[in-house]
Amino acid sequence: MATIYEERYSYHPEDFKSYDTQRIRKEFLIEKLMDTGNIRLVYSLAERYIVGGAVPVDNGLLLETIDPLKAEYFCERREVGVINVAGAGSIVVDGTEYKLNFKDALYIGKGSKEVIFKSDDVSNPAHFYINSAPAHREFPTKHVTMGDANVIHLGALETSNERDINQLLINGVVETCQLQMGMTELNTGSVWNTMPPHLHSRRNEVYFYFDVQDGQTVCHFMGEPDETRHIWLQNEQAVISPSWSIHSAAGTSNYIFIWGMAGENLDYTDMDIIQPTELK
């Protein structure tokens, strides 16, 4: 077992305009999150957000602190959100075990000292997708299933963006300091997510794409509305989307993505909508 991590910096939109494809992928794409038997983490200075993946097999995986945190344990000053995107498993938080099936979520509050990830079946291990943000107070750990989610149905098949937004770790469902997470599922025949796109300068966001079928791909759009760029992603890859960047994507078939964000407020509707005709 190993904890593998890397650090990423913040980015200025003027600098971003000069990035080529290789630089965009290096700075914003997270290519490998799910690594059998390991925990992988990316520590971004944008909102000091951490994105990661844990794939436990024979033994449980302990969520260890990493050097940039300068903390005795991972959750000493942090809250964590986890969503399981594969086989059944469990998370043990300070001795209490929480069973997570496919698409179940768990909020882990600040002050939790020991977090251990486990899989029920090593031949079909859990893939735990992890988001974390700094926290200023303690809230209790809470298990959230899809049945507990607040569901918003948006879009239409005619515009190729019919989708269900499952708000899982969000104000009104669970108490958090600043972390929010949810899962958007596109209906068959729809490929556009977050269309029309939006900005929210109060929050940084990360998108994690999964259930992308073999041979298919997703094109994530980013940049300022009048200076857009794109980045191609495969299954179980993520992209860091800065607060000044639009959030939108289209796939070659339908897929699911998890959005996670942190920042100034917990108001999900605090966003600036960009009309499609304004994009350049």
Phi, psi of 175 (to 5 degrees): -80, 130
- At position 59, the amino acid (one-letter code) is N
pLDDT in tens, the chain (280 residues): 789 999 999 889 999 999 999 999 999 999 999 999 999 999 999 899 999 999 999 889 999 999 999 999 999 999 999 999 999 999 999 999 999 999 999 999 999 999 999 999 999 999 999 999 999 999 999 999 999 999 999 999 999 999 999 999 999 999 999 999 999 999 999 999 998 999 888 888 999 999 999 999 999 999 999 999 999 999 999 999 999 999 999 999 999 999 999 988 888 888 899 999 999 9
With 0-12 CB in 10 A as exposed, 13-18 as middle and 19+ as buried, what is 92? middle
Question: How far apart (Å, rounded) are the C-alpha atoms in residues 154 and 161?
Answer: 8
Strand order in the sheet with 115-119: 61-62, 115-119, 89-93, 96-100
The structural domains of the chain, ordered by start, are 2-8+15-278 (2.60.120.10)
